[in-house]
Amino acid sequence: MEEKKPFTPYIPAHRITPELTVTSVLVGVVLAVIFGAANAYLGLRVGMTVSASIPAAVIAMGVIRVALRRDSILECNIVQTVGSAGESVAAGAIFTLPALFLWAKEGVMESPSLPELTLIALLGGLLGVFFMVPLRNALIVREHGVLPYPEGQACAQVMLAGEKDSGSTASVFVGMGVGALFKLVVDGLKLVPGEVNLQGSVKTYPGAIGTQIYPAVMSVGYICGPRIASYMFAGGIVSWLVLIPLIVLLGGETVLYPGTVPVGELFAAGGAGGIWSTYVRYIGAGALAAGGIISLIRSMPLIFRTFRDAIGGFSVGAGGSTARTEQNFHIRTVLVAILVLTLAVWLIPVIPVSFVGAVIVVLFGFFFATVSSRMVGLVGSSNNPVSGMAIATLLLATLVLKLVGQAGATGMQGAIAIGSIICIVAAIAGDTSQDLKTGYLLGATPKKQQMGEIIGVVAASLAIGATLFLLDRAWGFGSEELAAPQATLMKLVVEGIMGGNLPWGLILTGVFLAVASQLLGVPVLPFAIGLYLPVQLNACILVGGIVRLFFDRIKASEHRQAVVNRGILYCSGMIAGEGLVGILLAVLAIFGVDIALQQALPERFAPIGGLTVFALLVSSLVWFALRGKKKEG
């Protein structure tokens, strides 16, 4: 059998260049906080986050190479490594921790403290980084050429292209400015409504349709592409144009559990939104839970193979190589760190996790870190079934805690804390995998990248707790502004096991809708998210997907890829810009500052004004993405 040739990275092992510098760390920390806060806001609104790796790589090239005139691609790589950690910590935290705020509002338990949220995020993030050290040899090195790690390779290509041209940085910064401006106009000054609706009557057809006009929501559709956007919109059609009309037309004067008033009266008072919040969201929650579990079951052969390889990674002796490009944290350091972090999960008073819970954290944490790393290596971070892993963890953790006598509010709080740590572990493991792949291709020092991940986790963890408090006080989780779909689902799962008082008929309806979706070949999770979220949000996402479809059909392949990439960077910037203004508006709302002007449009013209602003937003994306194509022509 022919021996496999050793891989030679862009910067060979014998060449030493600046890497983990004060400049790269400071710029990376700023990006970690910015992208962490922006993705927290986005995920709580639409139930999805987007990878910050490529935008962070582009900004790194712009700041390090253009603004600071420094010529080190490995320094840029550290900026990207530190910066992208913020998005992963935010993704793991927002899927679970808002459940604690929701219970506090219901009077089930006291509101979580800032130290509790910060420490949960910090411990989960650090465990995710250290679990990935032995996995690097098993998955990044030995599986090179087998596992593509698409975002990791894309980041490497972005930085290699930046060696010649850093002009793409403008796309991100212009997008940030445009996203911030539109958010300020819609939600800050309130010059136009943020949503345009068309709703039927109870006697004819009580369905509802409409669209939001937010930059970040449309950008999600563009980045995810037309297929995912259409699946989400299909879920919204089923909810708002099929299920809600059926419930209203057939319910009539009947009081259906968990509602407390007749269905017709509920619709008359709250419209389709009242029916959605009382009934359909439980159907959507059932579909989401089933989708996560189906994704996990389909991955089981891959999971067990990866776990077997990961166990072998511990015997390799990470950190023993003298070559710069193979230097990791030593395996003894890794094991000691994991032990200390596990004890901290158990012994720190503000973290509501018992000894049994700490054992679940370390066992499930390493298991799902291997799953996450392998999954993102094959299908990318966007398709990583983190929510499915969190649901599986919550099911087991809640059952175990109930069996050992930790029931009621204490057990529910402990289960969410365990699920949160595992969710953050899985998210960080996936992000670290992509970053280590980028470093492997470029010739980075793995140990310095691992140190960068730790710095990014610490910075993002310190910011995420404050961000959650700000958003909750400004708008409240579970509200129209911040639906927090995954966290609401996790809350329902724990309540269902602990108390058994859920509307299981509605939840099982969602489960079987998800099963039918799978049998039809429709990806379950996008469909289930669309089933859960308001149709207006799904319609806005679909618009972004349609724009992407238009770009994907450009005939000349070299122009097509350039246009699509400019659009992705522009949309990433809009997400960050809107997210930052959203955080700013939350801060102002807490202090009672209202910057809104008098509604500029009469009510009958408000929908036209909203659609006009939305058309300008879409046009800005089309113009900016195609601008470079015209220049090239």
Model pLDDT, residue 54:
73
Q: Calculate Rg over the CA atoms of the chain.
A: 24
Model pLDDT, residue 203:
65
CA–CA gap between residue 28 and residue 34 (Å, rounded): 10
Q: What is the pTM of this model?
A: 0.75
Burial classification of residue 297, based on how many CB atoms lie within 10 Å of its CB (0-12 exposed, 13-18 middle, 19 or more buried): exposed
Model pLDDT, residue 114:
92
- The pLDDT tens digits for 580-610 are 787 787 777 666 676 665 555 555 566 788 8
Domain segments of the chain as ranges = 17-91+101-633
CA–CA gap between residue 40 and residue 47 (Å, rounded): 10
The answer to whether the CB of 211 falls within 8 A of the CB of 614 is: yes
CA–CA gap between residue 452 and residue 334 (Å, rounded): 15
- The pLDDT tens digits for 178-226 are 988 998 888 888 888 888 887 766 667 888 888 989 898 898 889 888 9
Q: With a cut of 50, list the residues of the chain below it in pLDDT.
A: 1-3, 316-319, 630-633
What is the DSSP track for 71-103? --HHHHHHHHHHHHHHHHHHHHHHTTTHHHHHH
Burial classification of residue 83, based on how many CB atoms lie within 10 Å of its CB (0-12 exposed, 13-18 middle, 19 or more buried): buried
CA–CA gap between residue 451 and residue 423 (Å, rounded): 21
The answer to whether the CB of 19 falls within 8 A of the CB of 75 is: yes
Model pLDDT, residue 50:
67
